Amino acid sequence: MLRGVWDATTLFLDRTSIGPSFDGHTTVDWQFGADITYYDFSEIEEIYRPLYYALTIGAILRFMRDPTRDRRRMTLLQIDEFGYLTQVEALGRLAATIAKVARKYGIGLIAIDQNPITFLSSDHGRFIFENAADKVLFHLDDLPARQMAEAISDIRPGHVSYLTRAGKGMALAIVGNDVSTMNVEAIPYELRMLRGS
């Protein structure tokens, strides 16, 4: 990438430090044909992260709408740190679009975030939250638990208390208008596969 600097008579072109990031073919495989496709952006510098999220969501939108895709094959899409997407305007719009159309194209979307309140802090976040068919909440401090009860009218004071006391694996599932407590545990196979990670 070049940066132009003008003076009265000459244009000087200096190479910037971020230019090489955009000056070449991508090494990212945007194919979703495998049983499990995983992208981890934790090592991406913060300044570039919105670009990677935008590229990923764009690739997912193209995959969903691909007329040659076998829709008989179930596709489950999980996006962690989903609330982050709602904090960047352009990403929030893309995230809202994907939340709106995923079911239409036979994709089960699971939007995951450490703090569910991030979904309520922007228009796009609220749209995503409202379009979620089901919600699963794990341990929350008192204030976020009460805020979730305000956002989801089916959550009662007893559920708020449950969330604030919930231990490892304990969750509150909101499916339609039904609210249930549940315990999420890894099966022995998952424990063996995750050992040492």
CATH, residue 54: 3.40.50.300
104, 153: one domain: no
114, 145: one domain: no
147, 194: one domain: yes
Which residue from 122, 142, 139, 138 is spatially nearest to 130, judged by alpha carbons?
122
106, 181: one domain: no
Extended strands (E) in 43-141: 75-79, 107-111, 134-137
pLDDT given for residue 14 in this prediction:
59
Domain carrying residue 95: 30-132
47, 90: one domain: yes
pLDDT given for residue 197 in this prediction:
65
- C-alpha distance from residue 152 to each of 126, 128, 182 (Å): 12, 14, 18
pTM, to two decimals: 0.72
**134 has which bridge partners?**
175
Model pLDDT for residues 2-11, shown as the tens digit of each residue: 344 444 444 4
197, 151: one domain: yes
- Report the share of the chain in percent with pLDDT over 90: 25
